[in-house]
Amino acid sequence: MFSTKSRYALRILIDLAQQGRDDPVPLKDIAERQDISKKYLEIIAKDLVKGGLIKGASGKHGGYMLTRSPEEYSIGEIIEQMEGTFAPVACLEDNAEECPRAGVCRTISMWTEFYELEKNFFFGKKLSDLL
């Protein structure tokens, strides 16, 4: 199951895209429209800023903005920013230490195949496809 962080992150980006890219959108408004705790959205927004997916503007009339147009966001990178990885098993993670069973493992090729399928699916879908 994907975490609420991923699902809420998607909803933040969808909301930002729907509001247009002219003015910063305050989290308070997003929280009200999406009916999600503003405090929790702050945590998610922070991760999105860290990943360069949105940028924040402090102060009055501040808020958050997309850094690109919706066609330029893949769903994959949004989810990956929140989940860390799409790897279905730890040994397929980027920084994975070599599995001692690698030589005899009968399942790794299946996991790899699924991993590729999943990445192709989510990196192929764009934010603009959800609008």
Partner DNA sequence: CTATTTACCTACTATGTCAATATGTTTTAT
Partner DNA sequence: ATAAAACATATTGACATAGTAGGTAAATAG
Residues that bind a second copy (CB under 8 A): 1-2, 7, 10-11, 14, 75, 87-90, 106-107, 110, 113-114, 117-118, 121-122, 125, 129-131
**Residue 54's beta-bridge partner residues?**
66
49 binds, among DNA, a second copy, none (CB under 5 to 8 A by kind): DNA
Instruction: Kindly state whether residue 64 participates in binding DNA, applying the rule CB under 7 A.
Output: yes
Rule CB under 7 A: choose which of 42, 71, 113, 116 binds DNA: 42
For residues 81 and 49, the answer to whether their CB atoms sit within 8 Å is no
125 binds, among DNA, a second copy, none (CB under 5 to 8 A by kind): a second copy
For residues 37 and 27, the answer to whether their CB atoms sit within 8 Å is no
State the alpha helices, DSSP H only, in the chain: 4-19, 27-34, 38-50, 75-83, 108-124
DSSP-derived secondary structure letter, 84: S
Alpha-carbon span 111 to 97, nearest angstrom: 16
Instruction: Kindly state whether residue 121 participates in binding DNA, applying the rule CB under 7 A.
Output: no
Residues forming the site for DNA (CB under 7 A): 3-5, 24-28, 37, 39-40, 42-43, 45-46, 49, 55-64
